A and B are shown apart, each in its own frame.
Chain A
């Protein structure tokens, strides 16, 4: 019971840091990468909390489709926020 708790705590710690950096980052490419990092952390948390179905849906959406969609959209916009 103690190991899942530690895993959840550590990865939620990292996910909060990644979320904050994704919000404040001026370089939107880095911001997309931080979002993917946050998604990986959440996937691990879901898996440890015994929800493999949710984590299987979260892997492709958070680390596959969302960054690709953001990169495709970023090619049309300016990379750096003012």
Chain B
């Protein structure tokens, strides 16, 4: 099986690479132009530009500026997609929220020791990605995904016993996720609410002050750019992603026997 599979794989890969090379050398038609278009130029000019106070975001990372300021509504809907997925998993596993596992066997000493070494590094990298999302590459989802690897590793290596030792409940994780998402919505609605109180104009998801609205999120923290709502959105998104993915791993690692018992019990009743 091995040799034949390898030959097929190699030939497929060579074929694809050849096609790619032909595309790159414009053999199948002209490629799009490489120079920056108007939209890219204006975004790059304005993401950190104190002289253009109505258009700037004070974020040094262009991607973060686009996803949480210029196109923030898209990102909120994107977060809603992940939210819907986790709601689906929760609905599927609703009967197994706090089933005690009988099979609580952790992995070997070598794996446990190396996990203990790697874990603080993962947490450190995830936190720095989340907090510096507006200064360097990174952001809410990236930081949250890196941070969620830590509890996933913990559950896999030390088995679910660590969850019971920490008294971590699925409802608690779900609550954290809900409150982070609610805070995101609330933060995006803060400028219009403040505006209606003080009698000026304000927009949903507004970050810095605009031409007809003086309201503005904090742009600087001491002498570091804070980028206003981008920083807060990044942190809240991180919390939401960590809680959601941890909940997923926690629910999926319920022992198969319990699920089977539940399913057959349901059949017997009918």
Co-complex (A, B): yes
Interface residues of A (CB under 8 A from B): 5, 9, 12-14, 16-17, 20-21, 24, 26, 52-53, 56-57, 59-61, 64-65, 68-69, 71-73, 75-76
The contact of A17 among B13, B145, B156, B256, by CB within 8 Å, is: B13
The contact of B141 among A5, A20, A57, A73, by CB within 8 Å, is: A57
Interface residues on B, range: 35 or more
Q: Are B141 and A13 in contact (CB under 8 A)?
A: no
* B13, B129, B249 — most chain A CB neighbours (10 Å): B13
Q: Are A21 and B5 in contact (CB under 8 A)?
A: yes
Q: Are A56 and B17 in contact (CB under 8 A)?
A: no
Kindly identify, within residues 130 to 180 of chain B, every residue whose CB is under 8 Å from any CB belonging to chain A: 137-139, 141-142, 145-146, 148-149, 152-153, 156
B97: Cβ under 8 A from any A Cβ: no
> Could you tell me the distance between the alpha carbons of A33 and B92 in the complex, rounded to whole angstroms?
27
Question: Which residues of B are found within 8 Å of A56, using beta-carbon distances?
Answer: 129, 137-138, 142, 146
Question: Which residues of B are found within 8 Å of A13, using beta-carbon distances?
Answer: 13-14, 16-17
Interface residues of B (CB under 8 A from A): 1, 5-6, 8-10, 12-14, 16-17, 20-21, 24, 61, 63, 129, 137-139, 141-142, 145-146, 148-149, 152-153, 156, 245, 248-249, 252-253, 255-256, 259
The contact of B142 among A26, A53, A76, by CB within 8 Å, is: A53
Question: Which residues of A are found within 8 Å of B14, using beta-carbon distances?
Answer: 13
> Could you tell me the distance between the alpha carbons of A9 and B137 in the complex, rounded to whole angstroms?
25
In the complex, 21 of the A-B residue pairs with CB atoms within 8 angstroms, ordered by the A residue number, are A9-B17, A9-B21, A12-B17, A16-B17, A17-B12, A20-B13, A21-B9, A53-B63, A53-B139, A53-B142, A56-B146, A57-B142, A60-B142, A64-B149, A65-B149, A65-B152, A69-B252, A71-B156, A72-B252, A73-B252, A75-B256
Question: Which residues of A are found within 8 Å of B142, using beta-carbon distances?
Answer: 53, 56-57, 60
Having A16-B13, A53-B138, one finds 20 other A-B pairs with CB under 8 Å, namely: A9-B20, A12-B13, A13-B13, A13-B16, A16-B12, A17-B10, A17-B13, A20-B9, A21-B5, A21-B9, A56-B142, A57-B142, A60-B142, A60-B149, A65-B145, A65-B245, A68-B149, A68-B152, A72-B252, A76-B256
